Chains A and B, each alone.
Chain A
Amino acid sequence: MTELLALTALEAHRAMVAGELDAGEYAAAWRQAAGGDELNAYLWRDEGGGPSAIAVERPSIAPIAVKDIFCTEGVPTTAGSRILEGYEPPYTATAVRKLIEAGAPILGKTNMDEFAMGSSNENSAYGPVLNPWDRERVPGGSSGGSAAAVAGGLAPWAIGTDTGGSIRQPAALCGIVGLKPTYGAISRYGMIAFASSLDQCGPFTRDVSDAALMLAILQGQDSCDSTSVGLPKSPSLPDRGDLKGLRFGVPSDLTGHEFDAGVRAVFEATLEKIKDLGGEISTVSLPHAEHGISAYYVIAPAEASSNLARYDGVRYGMRAESSGDVIEMYEQTRAKGFGAEVKRRIMLGTYALSSGYYDAYYGQAQKVRTKIAGDFKGAFDQVDFVVTPTSPSVAFKLGEKTADPLSMYLNDFFTVPMSLAGIPAISIPAGLAQPAGGGPELPVGFQIAAPAFGEQKLLGAAFALEQGIGFDARPEGVPNG
């Protein structure tokens, strides 16, 4: 069975198509592996013979773990929140439907920060997810369950969502590949909304080829999401052998800030590797990118405060007992149903949108967004890609940052600017480094960002670099393919 689990999704797909691998046996092996979840990665698992609405008649693609933010008909969908406990949506998200139609069975729904708000998965109403490399540490967030499932050998691949870094950061902290596509590449229909102008679905995979395979399945325009446009061309599998003729820009406005020495060492070694592979490195200027966190923590909570108005105890989800009028029922339901971080962001967003403060906060943040997008356009006149570390640190300890929301928010320092600009970015594992406080080495992610709709070229460069780096470390007990 270990041999089956060691296959990448692409290898398994090829073997199934060639008739060398029994799809039923393969899916059963993964269901059994997922059943051994000791990381709290799954909130729901298909034990075999799951609901008919998500059934796959002829599996030909590796089974997939789905972040619990995607609506799945007849399957509990909580978004990590108490307010949606027991909720079973009457329809399935487009991204999940496409995977099912392509022949990928749904392995289960993965744990996450409540409504995708968090960078450590500690904001889940259903308990934190543990990092498979060190169970005293966080897997990152908000798609922590999806990242831990793939890194921990509980799923061959997974989907998650990225609003300000929620795919890239957990992928980095768990030592796997995470891709945030261009805004609009994949339909958001059926993806529970956090910040609609930023949310984007994307893959968690063991390698870059699997990410390309999954992106090819997921991308496309969807009449149910008016902001979806798809990619100009369905991505093909990457096969670049070197980085000759490609220019990589290091944004000194971001990398000049202080971050962990171990992460910096891996980042600099990866820049050398790029040069070895024939790529050119230069410095680029993104003068407004350092204001990304400020702009993001106005825009995202503002949109969230509006999107989360729908949870009022009327149409679905929980309703708190109350003896008063309908307003008191709303207030009590939301008081009991939402966790601390969600309440904090609703308050922040409501404030930023309120009369008298709108221009100073929301309006100003949207202007910063224009400047950041402009900075990237300017950089891409000079280089093909912008590269940074994915996260300023390796995986931190559970509870280490929960008392200080701002220090938690600063985890997104390198990932938020790309989200605000709507451009694609991938995190690939680049090496191992000791945490700042010492201890066993943990994975470090390297982020590569490309111009909007530049996924094909991005995957090609990431593939060549991945081969050059040859990262093959795995958490203890996880088969290495």
Chain B
Amino acid sequence: MAKLARLGLSEEEVERMAGELSGILEHVDRIAELDLDDVEPTSHVVELENVLRADVPHESLSPDVALASAPDPVEGAFRVPSPQAEE
């Protein structure tokens, strides 16, 4: 699960969290007992209709501004370590 979440956890964290999460899941599991087969799930509480606006170009952040907070900006781009670790 930590791999999926791209979260580095120490051995100790994994152990502690396993206990805590099973306690929380035990509580959460109560809703599994409810019979809700015919119920529609709610993903949004306010009834909204999609609306489209005119596609008018407007100013957005300049590359300089967008890169200003980056840990490692280079030549107008975000630099990251290589996707393949060196052997």
Report which A residues bind B (CB closer than 8 A): 87-91, 182-184, 197, 223, 226-227, 229, 288, 291, 293-295, 297-298, 305, 309, 312-319, 322, 324-332, 334-335, 338, 340, 343-344, 346-348, 350-351, 354, 360-361, 363-371, 373, 405-406, 409, 420-422, 452
Which B29-71 residues sit within 8 Å CB-CB of chain A? Answer: 29-32, 34, 36, 39-46, 48, 53, 61, 65-66, 68-71
5 A-B residue pairs with CB within 8 Å: A288-B34, A294-B27, A295-B31, A334-B8, A351-B1
Shortest CB distance B58–A (Å): 10
Report which B residues bind A (CB closer than 8 A): 1-2, 4-10, 13, 17, 20-21, 23-25, 27-32, 34, 36, 39-46, 48, 53, 61, 65-66, 68-72, 78, 80-85
Given A406-B23, A421-B45, A294–B31 Cβ distance below 8 Å? yes
Across chains A and B, the number of contacting residue pairs, with CB separation under 8 Å, is: 167
Nearest neighbor of B29 in chain A, beta-carbon distance: A294
Nearest neighbor of A295 in chain B, beta-carbon distance: B31
Given A318-B71, A370-B42, A227–B6 Cβ distance below 8 Å? no
Shortest CB distance B84–A (Å): 6
**A371 CA to B17 CA in the complex, in Å?**
31
**A363 CA to B32 CA in the complex, in Å?**
10
User: A330, B6: Cβ atoms under 8 Å?
Assistant: yes
Given A227-B48, A326-B80, A328-B85, A351–B21 Cβ distance below 8 Å? yes
User: A350, B5: Cβ atoms under 8 Å?
Assistant: yes
CB-CB under 8 A from B69, the residues of chain A are: 87-90, 315-317
**A184 CA to B82 CA in the complex, in Å?**
42
Which of the residues B17, B31, B44, B72 comes within 8 Å of A344, measured between beta carbons?
Answer: B17
Nearest neighbor of A349 in chain B, beta-carbon distance: B5
**A327 CA to B82 CA in the complex, in Å?**
9
User: B39, A184: Cβ atoms under 8 Å?
Assistant: no
CB-CB under 8 A from B9, the residues of chain A are: 335, 343
Nearest neighbor of B36 in chain A, beta-carbon distance: A367
User: A350, B66: Cβ atoms under 8 Å?
Assistant: no
Nearest neighbor of B70 in chain A, beta-carbon distance: A315
Q: A297-B27, A367-B36, A369-B45 are in contact. List 19 more A-B contacts (CB 8 A).
A: A89-B69, A90-B61, A183-B46, A197-B44, A197-B45, A294-B28, A295-B31, A322-B81, A324-B85, A329-B81, A331-B8, A334-B5, A334-B6, A335-B8, A347-B7, A347-B21, A348-B25, A354-B1, A452-B45
CB-CB under 8 A from B10, the residues of chain A are: 335
User: B42, A366: Cβ atoms under 8 Å?
Assistant: yes
User: B71, A314: Cβ atoms under 8 Å?
Assistant: yes
Nearest neighbor of B30 in chain A, beta-carbon distance: A294
CB-CB under 8 A from A369, the residues of chain B are: 41-42, 45
**A107 CA to B8 CA in the complex, in Å?**
37
Which of the residues B36, B43, B81 comes within 8 Å of A326, measured between beta carbons?
Answer: B81
Given A314-B70, A343-B9, A350-B1, A409–B45 Cβ distance below 8 Å? no
